[in-house]
């Protein structure tokens, strides 16, 4: 969806959940009438705080789910500390949301989704929507993570069993030098696709975009969600 700016959409925390070794999801009541597409992000703010401004998080929940969820690595910044300590009933708000970069699946076209670490968040949303709507889209998810603590792996693997045109490859990168990582990626990319989506930390997104361009993928067929330098 195009970005909707300068709003104050109230959010109420429902619960938090630790996921994997060092990550967390926060679930919110879905505000009445709040519409979004898988791949969209929200800019989250605390109503009563000394923090200066909000932060952007992809929605890891799907539009087909009743609650909203965001997922992130546990961190030490003042913002993260506050986010990690929210309790059911706490109030936050969304100041803007959507997506400017066409980061939405087109289920009529074949797609490759490349996640780096927590960059899997928007892809969880997309795959869950395919599963809930029983859409037979040709999708390949390549999930790179430092360790083999792949977030959402159990549910992704269940959904894959019901979506014959979805393939998922998990790559743990901690013992791979850059060249070996690129070789693995290149091997997995031989099938080709109409569209490529990359999400994760800036360095991973930039390196992967270069790799795709070197393979001859047109820039217009690459959609990126760059999470910055965290």
Ligand X SMILES: Cc1cc2nc3c(=O)[nH]c(=O)nc-3n(C[C@H](O)[C@H](O)[C@H](O)COP(=O)(O)OP(=O)(O)OC[C@H]3O[C@@H](n4cnc5c(N)ncnc54)[C@H](O)[C@@H]3O)c2cc1C
Calpha distance 211→96 (Å, rounded): 32
Among 27, 36, 72, 97, binds ligand X (CB under 6 A): 72
Q: Does 228 bind ligand X (CB under 6 A)?
A: yes
Q: Does 194 bind ligand X (CB under 6 A)?
A: no
Q: Does 20 bind ligand X (CB under 6 A)?
A: no
Q: Does 121 bind ligand X (CB under 6 A)?
A: yes
Among 69, 92, 112, 118, binds ligand X (CB under 6 A): 118
Choices 10-18, 71-79, 131-139, 181-189; region in contact with ligand X by CB under 6 A:
71-79
Q: Does 204 bind ligand X (CB under 6 A)?
A: no
Closest to ligand X by CB, 12 vs 96, is 96
Q: Does 2 bind ligand X (CB under 6 A)?
A: no
Cβ count within 10 A of residue 177: 9
Binding mask 136-175 for ligand X (x = CB under 6 A): ----------------------------------------
CA-to-CA separations, 230 to 109, 117, 217, in angstroms, rounded: 32, 12, 27
Q: Least distance to ligand X from the beta carbon of 28, Å?
A: 14
Q: Least distance to ligand X from the beta carbon of 83, Å?
A: 8
Size of the site for ligand X (CB under 6 A): 21
Q: Does 27 bind ligand X (CB under 6 A)?
A: no
Binding mask 75-94 for ligand X (x = CB under 6 A): xxx-xx--------------
Closest to ligand X by CB, 79 vs 159, is 79
CB 84 within 8 A of CB 78: no
On the CB side of 144, CA atoms within 13 Å amount to: 23
CB 35 within 8 A of CB 59: no
Calpha distance 17→224 (Å, rounded): 27
Calpha distance 62→184 (Å, rounded): 29
Among 16, 58, 62, 111, binds ligand X (CB under 6 A): 58
- Least Cα distance to 82 among 115, 120, 55 occurs for 55
Calpha distance 175→147 (Å, rounded): 9
- Least Cα distance to 71 among 62, 58, 82 occurs for 58
CB 216 within 8 A of CB 132: no
| Binding footprint of ligand X on the chain (CB under 6 A) | 41, 55-58, 70-73, 75-77, 79-80, 118, 121, 225, 227-230
């Amino acid at each position: 969806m195009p970005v909707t700016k300068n709003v104050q959409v109230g959010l109420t925390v429902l619960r938090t959940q630790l996921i994997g070794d060092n990550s967390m999801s926060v679930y919110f009541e879905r505000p009445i009438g709040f519409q979004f597409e898988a791949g969209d992000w929200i800019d989250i703010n605390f109503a009563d705080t000394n923090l200066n401004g909000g932060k952007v998080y992809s929605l890891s929940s799907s539009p087909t789910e009743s609650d909203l969820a965001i997922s992130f690595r546990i961190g030490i910044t003042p913002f993260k500390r506050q986010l990690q300590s929210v309790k059911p009933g706490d109030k936050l708000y969304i100041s803007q949301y959507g997506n400017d970069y066409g980061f939405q699946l087109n289920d009529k076209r074949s797609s490759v989704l490349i996640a780096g670490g927590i960059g899997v968040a928007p892809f969880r949303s997309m795959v869950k929507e395919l599963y809930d709507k029983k859409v037979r889209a040709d999708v390949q998810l390549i999930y790179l993570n430092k360790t083999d603590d792949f977030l959402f792996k159990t549910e992704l693997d269940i959904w894959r069993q019901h979506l014959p045109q979805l393939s998922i490859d998990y790559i743990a990168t901690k013992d791979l030098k850059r060249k070996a990582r690129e070789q693995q990626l290149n091997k997995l990319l031989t099938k080709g696709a109409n569209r490529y989506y990359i999400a994760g930390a800036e360095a991973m997104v930039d390196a992967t975009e270069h790799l795709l361009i070197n393979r001859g993928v047109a820039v217009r067929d690459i959609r990126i969600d760059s999470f910055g330098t965290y």
